[in-house]
Amino acid sequence: MLNIAVIIAFTLIVIAQVLNLYRLFNGPSLPDRILALDNMYIDAIALFILVGIHFSSKAYFEAALIIAVMGFISTVATSKYLTRGDILE
């Protein structure tokens, strides 16, 4: 049962990643692309968790956690660059 759920989830997330990629490449504006990258981070968290479930391993949980922290900061930094140019002021 879990296996089927994991497979479905994998499929959906991968489709989401491809759509993210489309938005990333096509924009049209910079905020669109930044959002696309941010979405990719979030989907990556899902992928990590799914990999963990798939391998029945706890080792991937922290990686997902780190992406959650780092992806957020990365998006903040990029957005700050867009609005102010200078990210440390």
Partner 1 sequence: MNIALIALLPLLGAFIPCLFYNRNLNAASAGVIAGFSLLLLLLQAPAVFSGDIPLYTRSWIPAMGLTFAFRVSGFGFLFALLVLGIGLLIVLYARYYIAAEDPMGRFYTYLLFFMGSMLGIVLSENLLLLMVFWELTSISSFLLIGFWRDRTDARQGAFMALVITAGGGFAMLAGFLLLGHIVGSFELTDILAAGQIVQAHPLYPVTLILILAGAFTKSAQFPFQFWLPHAMAAPTPVSAFLHSATMVKAGVFLLALLVPVLSGTALWFTIVTATGLITLVFAAYMAMFKDDLKGLLAYSTVSHLGLITFLLGLGTPLAVFAAVFHIFNHAAFKAGLFLLAGIIDHETGTRDILRLSGLKKTMPVTAALTVIGSGAMAGVPLFNGFLSKEMFLAETLAPGLTGAWSWILPAGAVLAAAFAVAYSIRMLHGVFWGKPAEDLPSHPHEPPVGMILSPAFLMAVCVLVGIFPAFFAGPLVKAGAGAILGPDMPPYHMAVWHGFNMALILSIIALAGGVVFYRQRQRLFDAHVWCSRNLDGKTLFESLVSQMVHIGEMVTGYTENGSFQRYSALLIGSALVLGVSPFVRDSAPFLGSVPLTIPDPVTLVMGLILISAAIATVVTHRIRILSIIMLGTVGLMVSLAFSRFSAPDLALTQISVELVTIILMMMALHMLPRITPKESSSCRKWRDIVLSVLAGGGAAAVMMAVLTRPFDTISDFFLAHSVPGGGGSNVVNVILVDFRGFDTLGEITVLVIAGLVIYALLHNFDITGPRTDAQGYPWSRDRFPIILVNITRPLLPLALLFSVYIFLRGHNDPGGGFIAGLITVAVLILQYIASGIVWTRPRFHFDNHVIMALGLIVALVTGFGSWVVGYPFLTSTFAYVTLPLVGKFEIASAMAFDLGVYLAVVGSIMLVLVKLGTINSSDAQIVSTTFQREKEIQKEGH
DSSP state letters, 31-64: HHHHHHHHHHHHHHHHHHHHHHHHHT-STTHHHH
Could you say which residues in the range 59-78 bind partner 1, by CB under 8 A? 59-60, 62-63, 65-67, 69-70, 73-74, 76-78
CB of 44 to partner 1, least distance (A): 6
Rounded Cα–Cα distance for residues 53 and 88 (Å): 39
Task: Please say whether the beta carbons of 43 and 20 come within 8 A.
Answer: yes
Which chain residues interact with partner 1 by CB under 8 A? Answer: 10, 14, 17-18, 21, 24-25, 30, 33-34, 37, 40-41, 44, 47-48, 51, 55, 59-60, 62-63, 65-67, 69-70, 73-74, 76-78, 80-89
